[in-house]
Amino acid sequence: MPSETIPEAPSERRARTRKEIKKLIEDRNNVLSQYYNLARLTEDSKDDRSETTELLEEFCQELVDYMAAGHFEIYRRIEEGNERRDEILTLAEKIMPRINTTTQIAIAFNDLYDDTSNIDNEAIEQLPNYLAKLGEELATRIDLEDQLINTLLTVSNKPALSAVGA
């Protein structure tokens, strides 16, 4: 007899969702902290390339972790069609394309700067400009994520009642 998966209880789903949101916010805070430090360093220190590249490597890793946490933890259920709550689906339809754009911009930044062993002077000189653009995208993403998080935490997980035949 094939094994059947037991559906997850609503309280278990809510607990898992809260845990995923907590992880996402922790990753987000790490990225914002690293972003601030890197932006400050690029403004203050034009000639300490080793410190800049070291911080840049750390930032890129945090950025990738943050993007992954959103997509593999929170957004996956929506993208795979496993989300059933209408309010969340309606909001996701509106904001997910823009969140995906922020992800692509962050990946492009990471692709440009994650291998600091071969980074050239032009890329370092352009770093403040790329950081400014990335900062704008992160601000947009955070706003959209907060909308989704608030909806996830406030929308009831109770299944719709249906008539049961006698």
Q: Is residue 159 part of a domain?
A: no
In which element (H, E) is residue 51 found? helix 49-69
User: Phi/psi class of residue 81: alpha, beta or left (left: φ > 0; alpha: ψ in -120 to 50)?
Assistant: left
Residue 117 lies in a domain: yes
The DSSP element (H or E) to which 139 belongs, if any, is helix 121-154
- The answer to whether position 163 is within a domain reads no
Q: Is residue 7 part of a domain?
A: no
Number of domains within the chain: 1
Q: Tell me whether residue 5 is in a domain.
A: no
In a domain, 2, yes or no: no
CATH number assigned to the domain comprising residue 123: 1.20.120.1370
Q: What is the pLDDT of residues 106-137, one digit of tens each?
A: 999 999 999 888 888 888 889 999 999 999 99
**What is the C-alpha R_g of the chain?**
20
Distance between CA atoms of residues 63 and 110, nearest Å: 8
Residue-level pLDDT at 23: 92
pTM here is 0.82
* Residue 96 lies in domain: 13-154
* 73, 149 Cβ separation under 8 angstroms: no
118 domain residue, yes or no: yes
Mean per-residue pLDDT of the chain: 86
pLDDT in tens, 55-75: 999 999 999 999 998 888 888
- Residue 56 in any domain: the answer is yes
